Structure 1
Amino acid sequence: MQATDAINRMWIRSKSHPGTFLLSDRNTLNSALERLLPNEHQPDNRTEPLNLIMPAYETMWRVVILTFVSVASRNRDPRTAEELREAVKNVPQCFCQGNDAETRALAIAKEGLRLYPPTKHIHRARSIADNDTSVIVADVEACSRDYRVWGADALEFKPARFHDWPREDTLKKLSYFPFGVGRHVCPASAGFAPRMITLLVVELTRRFGTWQTGLRIRLGDVEVQPQVPSLLPSGRIDMENWVLDMDID
């Protein structure tokens, strides 16, 4: 917990006070990493431990847990429930097969990425020509939740919207960019991230089940309710004090 707490504090501070950090947090983080990854701190090893843990930490964990809660505990759509059961049956054997089973399984991760993109905003500086130092901000989250693009059920978790993704209209394709756009797309978008998210959600389902099998999840003192057109809190600070209590009756 020391490593993750220190990363959270340093990340939040970097957003509110760019270019600054707390020495105590950096020391705490380095000490925790030495215990977690002792081999990476050997004199003959130049690997930076943060390079190993940050991609998984920053890009993966929130999407995985929010997708799992959405599909296993909040979902009341029979079609989505059946798709989750099929994923549990077919993953990971269906991966890299290019068949319908893989398309339907990966749709679960893609819908999680749509509703809860790991990067909510993309910032790009304008050209320095004419002394223009302004910054352009792409609101990834707003685009992926826009009713005008995704329909009246835009805030509902429905993986089926990605089943025919190759034939979807251009507007939806342009509105879905959880891994960035253009030349700055994250390499994980090529297939690794959706498969990893799907695999982890499936494994959580295999271990804890769904609401149909008695799963109950509480976020703090509040029990997760059936799916309604509302979203789970997904900010770093919002999720800092979550307690995921899974009880199987």
Structure 2
Amino acid sequence: MSTPFYVSPQQAMADRAEYARKGIARGRSVVVLTYADGIVFVAENTSRALHKVSEIYDRIAFAAVGRYNEFENLRIGGVRYADLRGYSYDRADVNARGLANVYAQTLGTIFSSTGEKPYEVELIVAEVGKGPEDNQIYRLTPDGSVVDEHGSVAVGGSSESISHFLEQRHQEGMSLSEALKLAVDGLARDPNGGPARTLTPDQLEVAVLDRNRFQQRKFKRLLGAQLSRLLAGDESAATEDEGDKPAPEADTED
């Protein structure tokens, strides 16, 4: 009779963590930064249909790297959780901390299960507060660990070198244009010390949680000409918002 193959629990967990880490490292990074009026999300993503950054609720957004089908399932679950909680109680009761805890439980359960592989995803859940000191940013790893981040955070392929770059240069109270350019510079860096790449607006997915929007929903995507102007340093482009423009007057001529 052959001896059953034995793997210690510690080794099994280490192998699962390494498996998930390698899957995440193959993806392009996502950067999240605070700025004077909110939180900006910047991802290297040429697709206009498959988003890495999405809205969850009024003041909450979600960013992810890794396997799209896995983090898309998590995003949908987060939207359902937020909608149900907001409907059952109050919209103010939906916050990033509660959503991060739900994701942590889901990821932790999957990671510990021997019947399925761990999710190859890394998540960021962020909520813009009424003031800069009230912002919340949480990073979640495949094993369900939650890290409370402040100021800046990067996830994905070159996250360690990008995070170090951002920590040295990010400052509180930066304008949107300054924060956006810093995020793009971080994404364009070569982790091996080579020359930086040039990232164009068409290669970027950018969104903000802007606390100054008069709408209840603070999430807004930055696209096209507005994004190009912000990357060029035009601060006036930050205030443009299609939803803020008044509806055209009806034509009263006969």
Question: Quick check: TM above 0.5?
Answer: no
Question: Higher strand proportion, which one?
Answer: 2
TM-score w.r.t. the length of structure 2 is 0.31
TM-score w.r.t. the length of structure 1 is 0.31
The one of the two structures with greater contact order (alpha-carbon pairs below 8 A, sep at least 6) is 2
